[in-house]
């Protein structure tokens, strides 16, 4: 079979699929999941995880109200970069995505409701995509709000100088980059945890192994670094942080990647992991007694 035949078969298959039906099913799934998962008591700790940095900055703003030095702005920009790149990417978004995305299927298993989803006439791939988008929507809404609040509170204390840094300087561009990177981090980690929840009965331990991998990936060759989410996120961050600590001497600096390639690379990684999840969901069997 040559390439032309393959393309023709793919086109034929694509035309035969009821995409409109899939779209409406996905939108219903997303609506239901968001309604069930966005504002629940169980999620309070995730809101705290996202908003505690903003609360600390707010405290700093209130405490240091009469002690504002414009020269401090550069240091605060570095601190904000540290908050986004070290706290949010490595811990906050990571653990929140672990909670949100592993719960999408594993939670239904624990609550013994997954069979309802499997009994409705919806393809399992549609279920995976719908749940992934719902989880992504919840995580992105939460963390974009948190990052925006941190950014606003960091520069609000500088008054007019802060305003001119944001609107006349590099501030607005940095905010855009942070928001883009946050959204990509939510989707990237989300895809990883969705796949892990379909692969393992208790995905927390492999999740922590992934966390370790993300932390030590910089000491591996460039091709291996491409298998980590933080590799792509690092290249999109507007302010770079110096590497400190024991890993600094082993760090291999990979060739800089253009923002377009970084976004595309991460999206490709997400699609590949989602495709794996679609494959894994077909093997999934409900065994409530084992939970």
List contacts with another protein (CB under 8 A). Answer: 49, 52-53, 56-57, 59-60, 63, 79, 82-83, 86-87, 90-92, 95, 98-99, 102, 106, 110, 202-205, 207-208, 211, 245
- When the beta carbons of 108 and 125 are compared against another protein, the nearer one is 108
- When the beta carbons of 18 and 64 are compared against another protein, the nearer one is 64
CB 51 within 8 A of CB 149: yes
Cβ of residue 57: shortest distance to another protein, in angstroms?
6
Cβ of residue 69: shortest distance to another protein, in angstroms?
12
CB 158 within 8 A of CB 69: no
Cβ of residue 20: shortest distance to another protein, in angstroms?
37
CB 203 within 8 A of CB 197: yes
Considering only CA atoms, which of 38, 81, 33 is closest in space to residue 240? 81
| Cα→Cα distances 75→72, 82, 239, Å | 5, 11, 12
CB 97 within 8 A of CB 139: yes
- When the beta carbons of 174 and 197 are compared against another protein, the nearer one is 197
Token code pair at residue 51: 């908003």
Angle, vertex CA 185, rays to CA 179 and CA 187, nearest 5: 105
Maximum separation of any 2 CA atoms in the chain, in Å: 75
- When the beta carbons of 28 and 52 are compared against another protein, the nearer one is 52
Cβ of residue 285: shortest distance to another protein, in angstroms?
18
- When the beta carbons of 25 and 77 are compared against another protein, the nearer one is 77
Cβ of residue 193: shortest distance to another protein, in angstroms?
11
Residue found by looking up tokens 């903003």 in the block: 54
């Amino acid at each position: 079979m040559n390439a032309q035949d393959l393309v023709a078969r793919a086109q034929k298959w694509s035309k035969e699929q009821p995409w409109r039906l899939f779209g409406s099913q996905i939108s219903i799934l997303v609506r239901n999941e968001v309604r069930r998962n966005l504002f629940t008591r169980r999620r309070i700790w995730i809101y705290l995880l996202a908003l505690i940095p903003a609360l600390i900055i707010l405290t700093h703003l209130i405490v240091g109200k009469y002690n504002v030095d414009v020269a401090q702005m550069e240091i605060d920009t570095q601190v904000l970069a540290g908050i986004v790149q070290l706290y949010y990417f490595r811990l906050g978004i990571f653990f929140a995505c672990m909670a949100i995305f592993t719960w999408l299927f594993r939670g239904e298993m624990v609550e013994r409701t997954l069979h309802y989803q499997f009994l409705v006439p919806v393809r399992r791939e549609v279920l995976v995509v719908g749940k992934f988008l719902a989880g992504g929507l919840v995580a992105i809404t939460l963390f974009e709000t948190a990052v925006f609040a941190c950014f606003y509170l960091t520069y609000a204390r500088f008054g007019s100088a802060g305003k001119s840094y944001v609107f006349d300087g590099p501030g607005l561009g940095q905010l855009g980059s942070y928001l883009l990177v946050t959204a990509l981090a939510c989707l990237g980690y989300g895809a990883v945890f969705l796949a892990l929840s379909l692969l393992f009965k208790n995905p927390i331990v492999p999740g922590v192994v992934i966390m370790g991998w993300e932390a030590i990936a910089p000491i591996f060759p460039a091709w291996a670094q491409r298998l980590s989410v933080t590799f792509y996120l690092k290249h999109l961050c507007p302010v770079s942080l110096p590497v400190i600590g024991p890993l600094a001497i082993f760090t291999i600096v990979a060739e800089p990647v253009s923002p377009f390639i970084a976004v595309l690379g991460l999206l490709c990684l997400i699609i590949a992991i989602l495709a794996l999840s679609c494959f894994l969901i077909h093997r999934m069997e409900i065994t409530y007694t084992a939970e």
